Amino acid sequence: MNYVIGLGEALFDCLPTGRKLGGAPANFAYHVSQFGFDSCAISAIGDDELGQEIIDTFDKVGLHYCLPKVDFPTGTVQVTLNDKGIPQYEICLGVAWDNIPLTDELLAIAKEAKAVCFGSLAQRSATSRATINAMLEAMPADTLKVFDINLRQSWYSAEVIENSLKHSNILKINDEELDVVAPMLLNVEVHPEQLIATDKEKTLQVCRQLIEGYALDMVILTCGTNGSYVITKDEYSFVPTPKVEVADTVGAGDSFTGSFIAKLLQGASIKDAHETAVKVSAFVCTQSGAMPVLPQEYTQH
């Protein structure tokens, strides 16, 4: 079986409207599965009610998973929304996904990987970081590896980011994260609002420096309401962001990544995959929580 893997945190977003299952890698795996792929969410859970709820939810939506139980509570995040519906996160420490154990089952799944998406957040702890790196190294050479950088609070370092980029084909980053990463790795200052709005060439230049510096195939740069780019060494795609009635933006970026990778794996062009990703992400913004069912018009091959 060829798996498309979401590797890292699986947790509950505790929203003003109630508790919703999330975590960027789990969200990614869920959205890819809606396109007909054998997706697998890999994380760790506690031997508790929330851990069982994650299993029950994944069973209900038909998502494969490998969720070792560990002696830590299942992860939760307190999410508050600002006046624009943008989430602010308070991420609990000492939780199950900080302690993902490297098991024979995980390594066996890694050897069957068709694609994987992982981020920086689950690498904040030495245990999960070592497991993630071991799995990435066990994957076949032609596995599509997506580093969805997903900077949260202070849970990242230049060392983790650089090592992750060296394991990746694709970097997924947003404009605010580029503002952090460009000075850190390239010694280049960028000002996202100004850069995206007025200087497309500099945007492309900075992203291509990352592509060349870390031997990437492409950079996906999302810029909120200012649109999104998919940039390769030789070309780029830009798609504006549709105006929608926003319920919340939790998981919108993960749905973008999942649908983009799913379309690429189906053989779509970068432009077609990008356009689908934008439509899916806009739809998810109109729904509460990170894992709504997508309309068939987006997921049909």
Distance CA 293, CA 62 (A): 12
Neighbours of 189 (CB within 10 A): 10
The per-residue pLDDT for 65 is 96
User: Collapsing DSSP states into helix, strand and coil, what is residue 232?
Assistant: strand
The per-residue pLDDT for 280 is 95
Helix (H) or strand (E) holding 46: strand 45-46
The per-residue pLDDT for 22 is 80
Q: Where are the alpha helices (DSSP H) in the chain?
A: 24-33, 49-61, 104-110, 126-138, 158-166, 175-181, 192-198, 200-213, 252-265, 270-285, 296-299
Distance CA 243, CA 223 (A): 14
The per-residue pLDDT for 288 is 74
Do 265 and 114 meet the contact criterion of CB atoms below 8 Å apart? Answer: yes
- Per CATH, domain 3-299 is 3.40.50.2000: no
Q: What is the pLDDT along the chain (301 residues), one digit of tens a residue?
A: 699 999 999 998 887 778 888 888 989 999 999 999 999 999 999 999 999 999 999 998 889 999 999 999 999 988 887 877 777 778 888 999 999 999 999 999 999 999 999 999 999 999 999 999 999 999 999 999 999 998 988 899 999 999 999 999 999 999 989 999 999 999 888 776 655 556 788 889 999 999 999 999 999 999 888 899 999 999 999 999 989 888 777 778 899 999 999 999 999 999 999 999 999 999 998 887 767 888 888 888 7
- φ and ψ at residue 279, rounded to 5 degrees: -65, -45
> Among positive and negative, which fits the CA dihedral 205, 206, 207, 208?
positive
Distance CA 293, CA 141 (A): 32
Helix (H) or strand (E) holding 219: strand 218-222
What letter represents residue 234's amino acid? D
C-alpha triplet 10, 15, 19: angle, nearest 5°: 55
The per-residue pLDDT for 293 is 83
- Nearest to 147, CA basis, from 132, 125, 128: 132
- Report the DSSP beta bridge partners of residue 65: 41
The per-residue pLDDT for 54 is 94
- Nearest to 218, CA basis, from 233, 202, 203: 233
The per-residue pLDDT for 153 is 81
Distance CA 34, CA 62 (A): 10
Neighbours of 299 (CB within 10 A): 18
The per-residue pLDDT for 1 is 65
